[in-house]
């Protein structure tokens, strides 16, 4: 995750093909937040990508800042959500003053943090930028996802004037998921090929909860997010989990 070149190359495809998640996830964030997300709250969208969730949050009356490590992602985000503030920054090293009522990080963005030490750095940075009573909601792909959805699956999509292939691999010993994306786009009567490699890992639920408490978060709750887009109790078959934590 320290190098953002692949994320820059991936940005236009993410904006075109994957932004739907930001559009659909807001109602569930509201449910998870409960009464702790007041009208007009100041929200930080961490790893905001191309800004689709930021756009929805702005449309619902929140004051929103988006932060992402990819400059190209933020170029699209500024077009998608022109009334928001955007910051170029790394989730592991950003420093903001305590002025946010909520921090969201969605679409398994934090699975791209490959070590628990660095994930705890993210948690600490989030804690420091929250107001007292502020909330942190994020989702993560869990072990089940890597063992079922990452084992040698291929996805091919042809769009207007582009084609891309996504290949998934999972190294069980290293707990490392690898996404290889090959993109073909027309350029000067030929087709230009771009190859992108992105990595994710997973963490045991108990390790995540322990790390959140270690940083100082309390009132920690978990919700499984199903393929039918419903929230339910977490169990061993949960492949995506939302975490809720609060700064007291």
What percent of the chain is modeled with pLDDT above 90? Answer: 88
Taking residues 65-91, report their average pLDDT.
98
In angstroms, the Cα distances linking 118 to 82, 122, 142, 187 are 31, 6, 18, 39
Cα–Cα distance for residue pair 202/226, rounded to 1 Å? 17
**CB distance 81 to 66 below 8 Å:** yes
Cα–Cα distance for residue pair 14/248, rounded to 1 Å? 36
Residue 119 structure tokens: 């994930």
User: Is the per-residue pLDDT at 1 higher than 60?
Assistant: no
Q: Strand pairing partners for 129? A: none
Cα–Cα distance for residue pair 244/83, rounded to 1 Å? 27
- Report the predicted TM-score, pTM, of the whole model to 2 decimal places: 0.96
Q: What is the tens place of the pLDDT at every residue in 82-114?
A: 999 999 999 999 999 999 999 999 999 999 999
Q: Which domains does the chain have, with CATH numbers?
A: 5-144+202-246 (3.40.50.150), 158-200 (2.20.25.110)
Summary mean pLDDT of the chain: 95
Residue 47 structure tokens: 């790893």
In angstroms, the Cα distances linking 83 to 29, 40, 62 are 21, 14, 11
């Amino acid at each position: 995750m320290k190098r953002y070149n692949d994320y820059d190359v991936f940005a236009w495809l993410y904006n075109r093909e994957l932004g739907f998640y930001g559009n659909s996830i807001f109602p569930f964030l509201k449910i998870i937040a409960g009464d702790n997300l007041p009208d007009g709250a100041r929200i930080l969208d961490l790893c905001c990508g191309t800004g689709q969730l930021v756009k929805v949050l702005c449309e619902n009356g929140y004051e929103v800042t988006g932060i992402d490590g990819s400059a190209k992602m933020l170029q699209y985000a500024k077009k998608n959500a022109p009334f928001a503030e955007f910051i170029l920054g790394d989730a592991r090293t950003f420093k903001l003053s305590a002025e946010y009522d909520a921090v969201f990080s969605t679409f398994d963005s934090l699975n791209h943090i490959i070590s628990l030490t660095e994930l705890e750095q993210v948690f600490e940075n989030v804690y420091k930028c929250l107001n007292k009573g502020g909330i942190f909601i994020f989702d993560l792909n869990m072990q089940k996802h890597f063992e079922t959805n990452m084992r040698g699956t291929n996805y091919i999509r042809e769009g207007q004037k582009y084609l891309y292939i996504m290949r998934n691999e999972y190294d069980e010993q290293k707990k490392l998921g690898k996404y290889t994306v090959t993109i073909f786009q027309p350029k000067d009567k030929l087709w230009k090929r771009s190859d992108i490699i992105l990595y994710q890992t997973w963490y045991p639920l108990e390790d995540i909860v322990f790390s959140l408490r270690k940083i100082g978060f309390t009132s920690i709750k978990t919700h499984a997010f199903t393929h039918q887009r419903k929230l339910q109790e977490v169990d061993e078959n949960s492949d995506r989990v939302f975490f809720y934590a609060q700064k007291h």
